[in-house]
Chain A
């Protein structure tokens, strides 16, 4: 089992470019999450999907869109990248309720110039 996989591992964009970060899980989990990690700020939730077919905003959704393509895949799109979106992005899943363990992907490092 691969667990949670993310692509790409690293990306450099110019301001205004667009890109999609991919996340896939083979754990048959219902809920999927996108976080960004910035120095000294912990992880902040961008969007989440409680189940296939639903998505909701987290605490920092501006500048991002998401798609829950099926139960396995949850993508994050930056339509017009800005330097403030330079960060490390993590996808995570939970099998059931929030009192359960989250499983994280290895992350995507994004640099916006």
Chain B
């Protein structure tokens, strides 16, 4: 079936370190892929998205590339800040015959000053 798998957290980094959060998916059809971010006490908000293979989504220094051959959508940032501490969710939607968005379990990121 359709699913999203993210690396387990928490991930703890020092400020200015490089971030990678892995995300792989299984889906029928041609899904759109998303990264959402959830700051403490808030709802999820879109961080970036890609709607077709080889597209790169980017926002606030974060990037992710839609890799159909490896069914992946890994999130990267070159230099994290304390303010990036949050929970990050990979998600897919637009699958064949599907009516919903499928979310990964979320990866909590802590960034230390």
Contact = CB atoms under 8 A, between A and B. Distances in A.
Interface string A4-34: 1000000000000000000000000000010
Contacts of B36: 102
A61 interface: no
B100 A102 contact: no
Interface of A: 4, 33, 40-43, 45, 48, 50, 56, 58-59, 90, 92, 97-99, 101-107
Contacts of A59: 100
Contacts of B89: 42-43
B10 to A, nearest CB: 12
B93 A104 contact: no
Given A40-B106, A104-B44, 7 more contacts: A40-B105, A42-B103, A42-B105, A50-B99, A99-B93, A102-B46, A102-B101
Interface residues of B, number: 23
A102 B94 CA distance: 12
B37 to A, nearest CB: 11
A92 B42 CA distance: 13
Contacts of B22: none
30 contacts: A4-B43, A40-B106, A42-B4, A42-B89, A42-B103, A42-B104, A42-B106, A48-B99, A50-B99, A56-B99, A90-B43, A92-B43, A98-B94, A98-B98, A98-B100, A98-B101, A99-B32, A99-B51, A99-B93, A99-B94, A101-B34, A101-B46, A101-B49, A102-B44, A102-B101, A103-B45, A104-B44, A104-B45, A106-B42, A107-B42
A40 B42 CA distance: 17
